[in-house]
Structure 1
């Protein structure tokens, strides 16, 4: 952000970016009601040095306000599509950053590409991290603010523009120990889920330490629990045979345990190091029914026997994963360097109960050696088929960012990146003991991204046009198994006004299928229900999944046009409209739904018996020749405050903060960042007593000694150590974020700047500021002694700014927050050409790949938070669609009705109920949450051409859980 000139009637206000304590005082002075139209003749404008040096001379008619760029902000020409401060985040009721991102849902997902919905890139304080595991368990109370940016910003950090960017700015000082217990189950019963999680977090300046241990468990749910009608009805069963529905799971029996440790520290001025590691284990058991055999009695009648109750057709899986990552951030000259490395090693093993030799049983029955009512349990266990795979992945990326050239419209931003990725997979299968798949790949990459300002209102260069910038990116990848692949993109961003921004981006990219798609272990699962559109029936099929070594590289070209309008009538509210046009060739996909067209294209993947009944399916990955997708996406983000707050109400009734003459004497103040409240406002409000203490520390101490003390405080904060007390023996009343803004690249305060600021602070009186705050005493965001007026709120008695006893850092003056987010997607085109010479499939007009494709989808989220109570609701709508059969005798169409779901979370911060805490101190720092998913127990209705529901699409097969409740207990210590 450069120097910004604003011309008001009567006076000129020039705003500088300045790392100075003057923001505590001078920025509280209201602008004069009288102003001039131009700079006085002969006066030189202040130096454009980012605000580091105040103007050499002052004019009594000019008010200079010094502020600082928001800590951790992303420097991008594209405005954020969503901004959340601490109060906004509190309204989501999330228990961790991972839960917060899940609650944000489609707002952080990209609409670019064939399927859209790609996950976001995560930044911390505006800097890349090695892995999301580094902070996913952080409590949301540790967040100062969150920003969501469009896909184009990803290129500035060395990524391709098909993911949105989420920048999480953490509080400078925060500490918490957290325990979270969670229980959930459907209203219909049948199974339950449990979760226990413990987290420790300490933030001290740039230093961070996080420990997390999480256990999750889910009991099984069977088709018998939901009275599912069975698909296998070839013949009547022998009376007394077990019901296979009791041995077929809708929800698998699973358990997982994961531990994570992450540590970040500073290595000196402008340099930080981060290390993290995790280990996890996941176990799962799902049942695929019972072994069965079709026997014939003496009269030639077929009878179905089910057996092996002791050993049902089970699929037992176990996977373990070990990961470690590192990140290094430093400045070299004018370059900001970020290097990350991340490695993962994983093993997986899948055991599938093998079938008995049913042919031998049939022959034994035909020879009279086996009676229909014989005890089939006498036959030996067939054992297990086992598939194993070992995978590893090592990836590193180095980015270097700088502003190499200054043009008339501003600075050019340049990002260079280079990376290495090595990964491999070894897979084995006992059904093919002589075949071992071993794939290894190395990938070297390099790229460059440049953002070039063309016009600028702030720089007064063709300002009538607005802010126009050009973004160019090019990259090259060399893969050991696919050779050299390239990508490039070009985009324009036009800020027509301060609130209206247009973007246009073109992306051309080649990419290779993953090693999992090429060489994943082939696993054969019995008794999988498949709806056969050709015959209009549901059958149990043996399905083989896994990799396909013959997949080619994919090429992709995308257009994106967008407009972002910051709504002028609501704070932090915006409307975003985006149009996507994607063309892909040689696309890799999972095997699609078995429609007549798909079967004709992949006839060798389908096995039928002599009667035409489907018996086996190879669902390994496939390639389509071309796919074209066009979609329109609209996002609306609204937010606002509820109530005027206790401070404003007090001011309206004439009960504002005490005048300066009545201000309490300077008393020992809590340590900077402790989250104390000023007498007239909420957290971060202007506190006359604290200002007087700061003024005394600045003005009564010997200047050289005080300067060294401030430098020692900065060094202690960077090292995560306890800072020294002030010259009066009391903790420094100077907020640490203000000290950080004073520091230069070497981490120390410039003596000349210190002398200038000391002179200004010592010449100011608290009364001249407190008397102009309207009784609320609150400075502008980022300027107050306690941190940002919105988003930095400490808690009741919070240690180190941690906000203990208070969730979300919400406002302490009684002001509440509300928000509403809506995203609507309209699919204009979605067509697929499987291969040259075959018909073009229209997925929006009866054809299908993985399932039906609705033209309309809507996601709606809303929440409110006030006085420690919150409610978060989210709903989803999916439009109607259909899948056409072949039209031949026996074939059928499928119609998928539109449907909507609504869910909510309600939560209460018991720590804010003073009487309750006094009666039961344990409730300090405690929050109780209750949630209900799918409130109306809605499920999509699927019918065939006759209006009947096929067995494969029974409501409980589509969604076995339905309406579900969840209770969460969370406590910060």
Structure 2
């Protein structure tokens, strides 16, 4: 084992040399022959100055590279789960939303996330996380980071997994079963995933939430309102990749997902008007009475079916150009039914006639009210798109080739929706066709390797422009440029600027209108928590936006022999005509958008001259704000190190995951072939290790990971419309139920793995915020720290256990605790009672959640 480690260290050192090695390099081990059956015979052919197999073909180096050992320390079950753990490392502040990073496999584009969703981490040789500028080189916009998965050259597995999750307070249970089959044989790969998940509902009565029963026969109306609805999801997906010839590969992937949910919005209610002079009136004027009926709760059912099909072809033109052609079709059907309860007209007529038997405060019979037909909504969204991407060098400069990427695309989208509200049916159709083009260029200026202006180090500039023609919005353009500079090898600096126009999505324009009754909101003006009707859906009056992003940052690896990287990035974004979802209700928002709120009449007997009527409904459909302006600085480090000495006696059973030795003590051959910096290799040489096994750390060795990132927000402001005051999310304004934006936020991760056992901790801390209450008390949100823990044990590494219980072979057990210390948002209201929907159990009904997973690789 020690011989293999030493030889591979020498091999990799030779691969990254930037100058020819001396004739007799110091401490270079000579080829070794041994009769020890546990030793490996190594035969190597090295190529200097070439990228490792599967690397991204870019002059911009990865910010972070994770080895197979480091990936093991996260204890993830598949690529999707691994990406969720890596979110602090893949986060970008340049995107329009916190979307998923650009994903590549072996330095190449993929046909969609479904292609790699269920791949087990054991199949990953290493990962590269790269800055946003690299996305341009693959035909994407520079608004998300890039993650490149380098898969092992040969890998076979059948994996099954069973997971159970429940909060320690009870009330909700989630069961999930997954399976994946994967075959990798050189350039060919195919996989299939099956998933099924079911979650039980969580009711308000199962948490510390109390509401006024409204003089009903029900003691606890919370038993008829869900905090989290019942849900069920089934998914099947698959992918097939194959080399068509020596230069061309093809990939086909598809998925089908069926999902459903059921939630309850409480018992149906009515609002009755008791006229003056009525025998039951206690007021000199008209009096309004809200009552809850003894009936079935108001429910909402949602059923959805989504199908996706993607095809990708990837190949080469000569030795210098790569081309990728992909097409994708997606269809999503969604049906929603919302209960509306009862109309009060028959009973109200009796009240208005002063019927002495119509007591609005006594027991109410359902026969006195008229059932209201359910609201329904159906939408069918379809998307068909295709893209052609060409990558290669258009010219050669002394410092290297001018690499370029050209993308040409076209797509067609449609969204047909039908909604019925109050017996009125509305049909809407929206379609869009789009033609787009994008070009990006990277110009090398100085190069240490080429000995061109070596005093400057490595210096390159990039430039990109794009244009798209939309059938419903006309032309939209994108323009950007950047500089990448490494004055010394341990340090790299980046600066970039982007100016882009963006259109609203077809869903934001044409989603069916949904009315949800009995939505609890806090009305700052009346200082009460009230039940209102919330209107959601599309807004056909949305305009396109314009977004400008400035970014400057650096990445430092101060010690060449230590896996430690330090980085810091400043980002400023200005978005005009910003498209946004409707934010949380505040006095400032209602003053700026009075047409979005509907209030009832003011009580004529209220002595307050500023009194307002009760809030009845609000329109939460998306809208254009005049501008968003944000600035932040994100700084952190990522550190990893191995520890412990190899212990061959502790090797897991041969032929199973984690085995490092070839079966039967056969010699291993390590071979490095070809490569170079051209696009053909996806980044250079092919390294092959014969003798079977899945690689990884040697028995007895361990790996430790630690990363900490701090974000400080310098500015986060919204202007709703011209002439209105600036809403400062760092000082009293809010866009969400958890207050404004925290000025400071820290994300920390740590993991350790050894001898098949590991633990991973993910911690997040956010500074407290405040919501300006206008004439009422402010709402103050405290600091909050949450810690998630994942502990796992690879039972296959416990040889004595497997010998006693053979069915444990290839098994792993994960024990997880989300929100380990049950940290909840704590809200205070200046001594006043905290509004119901700002209490801890409402903002975070789950709290601490415990999970147990049994995973087994069958082969």
When the two structures are superposed, what TM-score results if normalisation uses the length of structure 1? 0.78
Alignment match, 1:838: 724
What is the Cα deviation at residue 838 of structure 1?
1.2
Q: How does 1:334-345 map to 2 (within 5 A)?
A: 334-345=320-331
What is the Cα deviation at residue 607 of structure 1?
0.7
Alignment match, 1:353: 339
1:852 aligns with 2:740: yes
Which of 569, 577, 595 is equivalent to 1:604? Answer: 595
2:763/2:787 contact within 8 Å kept? yes
Distance in 2 between the 1:618 and 1:674 partners? 57
2:53/2:686 contact within 8 Å kept? no
Change (3 A) 1:239 1:11: closer
Distance in 2 between the 1:920 and 1:939 partners? 42
Superimposed CA distance per residue, residues 77-120 of structure 1 (whole angstroms, 9 cap, x where no aligned partner): 22212211111111110010000001111211211156x63320
Distance in 1 between the 2:597 and 2:646 partners? 67
Change (3 A) 1:557 1:924: same
Change (3 A) 1:2 1:444: farther
Secondary structure of 1:496's counterpart equals strand
1:147 aligns with 2:128: yes
Secondary structure of 1:281's counterpart equals strand
Alignment match, 2:713: 827
Alignment match, 1:469: 460
Which of 396, 421, 427 is equivalent to 2:386? Answer: 396
Distance in 2 between the 1:505 and 1:539 partners? 47
1:251 aligns with 2:136: no
Alignment match, 2:152: 171
Superimposed CA distance per residue, residues 381-417 of structure 1 (whole angstroms, 9 cap, x where no aligned partner): 4331101111011222211111232211112211111
Change (3 A) 1:865 1:269: same
Change (3 A) 1:209 1:482: same
1:308/1:377 contact within 8 Å kept? no
Distance in 2 between the 1:4 and 1:93 partners? 34
Alignment match, 2:81: 99
What is the Cα deviation at residue 321 of structure 1?
0.7
Distance in 2 between the 1:375 and 1:649 partners? 75
Which of 294, 302, 321 is equivalent to 1:317? Answer: 302
Distance in 1 between the 2:216 and 2:209 partners? 19
Alignment match, 1:716: none
1:570/1:638 contact within 8 Å kept? no
Change (3 A) 1:206 1:453: same
Alignment match, 1:717: none
What is the Cα deviation at residue 689 of structure 1?
6.2
Superimposed CA distance per residue, residues 114-170 of structure 1 (whole angstroms, 9 cap, x where no aligned partner): 6x6332010011000121011101111111111110111000011111101000011
Alignment match, 2:779: 894
Superimposed CA distance per residue, residues 771-824 of structure 1 (whole angstroms, 9 cap, x where no aligned partner): xxxxxxxxxx9998637xxxxxx9xxxxx65x4xxxxx5313321101011121
1:624/1:835 contact within 8 Å kept? yes
Alignment match, 2:689: 786
Distance in 1 between the 2:735 and 2:346 partners? 39
1:289 aligns with 2:266: yes
Alignment match, 2:843: 958
Which of 438, 461, 465 is equivalent to 2:429? Answer: 438
Change (3 A) 1:292 1:242: farther
Change (3 A) 1:203 1:674: farther
Distance in 1 between the 2:648 and 2:393 partners? 44
Change (3 A) 1:3 1:596: closer
2:52/2:685 contact within 8 Å kept? yes
Q: How does 1:256-655 map to 2 (within 5 A)?
A: 256-294=233-271, 298-300=279-281, 304-309=290-295, 311-333=296-318, 334-365=320-351, 366-368=354-356, 370-371=358-359, 372-376=362-366, 379=369, 381-431=371-421, 433-568=424-559, 571-611=562-602, 612-646=613-647
Aligned residues: 801
What is the Cα deviation at residue 12 of structure 1?
8.1
Secondary structure of 2:134's counterpart equals helix
Which of 924, 939, 942 is equivalent to 2:809? Answer: 924
2:795/2:811 contact within 8 Å kept? yes
Which of 78, 82, 94 is equivalent to 1:112? Answer: 94
What is the Cα deviation at residue 445 of structure 1?
0.7
Which of 208, 212, 219 is equivalent to 1:227? Answer: 208
2:129/2:145 contact within 8 Å kept? yes
Change (3 A) 1:885 1:239: closer
2:214/2:291 contact within 8 Å kept? yes
Change (3 A) 1:947 1:862: farther
Distance in 2 between the 1:420 and 1:355 partners? 46
Superimposed CA distance per residue, residues 203-257 of structure 1 (whole angstroms, 9 cap, x where no aligned partner): 1111111111100110000001113022xx5xx7336235321111011100011
1:403/1:413 contact within 8 Å kept? yes
Change (3 A) 1:676 1:180: closer
1:24/1:785 contact within 8 Å kept? no
Change (3 A) 1:5 1:578: closer
Secondary structure of 1:957's counterpart equals helix
Secondary structure of 1:573's counterpart equals strand
1:535/1:892 contact within 8 Å kept? no
Secondary structure of 1:106's counterpart equals helix
What root-mean-square deviation, in Å, do the aligned CA atoms of Structure 1 and Structure 2 show? 3.0
Distance in 2 between the 1:916 and 1:688 partners? 23
Alignment match, 1:664: none
Alignment match, 1:123: 104
Alignment match, 1:934: 819
What is the Cα deviation at residue 880 of structure 1?
0.9
Q: How does 1:63-74 map to 2 (within 5 A)?
A: 69-74=51-56
Secondary structure of 2:58's counterpart equals coil
Secondary structure of 1:645's counterpart equals coil
Bigger Cα Rg: 1
Alignment match, 1:238: 215
Distance in 2 between the 1:25 and 1:193 partners? 50
Alignment match, 1:730: none
Distance in 2 between the 1:182 and 1:3 partners? 43
What is the Cα deviation at residue 554 of structure 1?
0.5
1:294/1:362 contact within 8 Å kept? no
Distance in 1 between the 2:803 and 2:368 partners? 68
Alignment match, 2:178: 197
What is the Cα deviation at residue 304 of structure 1?
4.7
Distance in 2 between the 1:178 and 1:377 partners? 57
What is the Cα deviation at residue 434 of structure 1?
4.7
Structure with bigger helix share is: 1
What is the Cα deviation at residue 869 of structure 1?
0.2
Which of 791, 815, 824 is equivalent to 1:906? Answer: 791
Structure 1 spans left out of the alignment, 5+ residues? 16-22, 29-63, 651-669, 692-733, 748-780, 788-793, 795-799, 804-808
Secondary structure of 1:412's counterpart equals strand
1:186/1:964 contact within 8 Å kept? yes
Distance in 1 between the 2:119 and 2:95 partners? 31
1:684/1:786 contact within 8 Å kept? no
